[in-house]
Each structure stands twice: as C-alpha cells, then as structure tokens.
Amino acid sequence: MSTVEEDSDTVTVETVNSVTLTQDTEGNLILHCPQNEADEIDSEDSIEP
C-alpha cells in the first residue's frame, strides 16, 4: 500500500466552500465549483470612496 509521500504522481486540489455534482442525460458526472465569493471579495476591494 502506498502513501501520498511515496506516490510520484501528485495532484494539487483547490479547496472551495461548496460544490455541485450533476449528471447529464448520457450519465456523465459534472462538478461545478462556484467562484462567487472570490468575485464578491474582488469587487469590494475595487470600490473607491
């Protein structure tokens, strides 16, 4: 049994607050990762007084 440290093929993942998993008519799984929170933070920073 291998551990993460022993694997030469590593994968980097991004942590998000919520994801939506859907399935189309052909049976394909689709993973949606909304970026709304990041956009809201950027828009707040760009607002000038």
Asked if pLDDT for residue 13 goes beyond 70, the answer is yes
What pLDDT, on a 0 to 100 scale, did the predictor assign at position 34?
Answer: 75
For residue range 18-28, what is the model confidence (pLDDT) as tens digits? Answer: 888 899 999 99
- Give the pTM: 0.34
Q: Give Cα separations from 8 to 1, 5, 11, 14, 15 (angstroms).
A: 14, 8, 10, 19, 22
What pLDDT, on a 0 to 100 scale, did the predictor assign at position 18?
Answer: 81
Asked if pLDDT for residue 29 goes beyond 80, the answer is yes
Any idea how long the chain is? 49
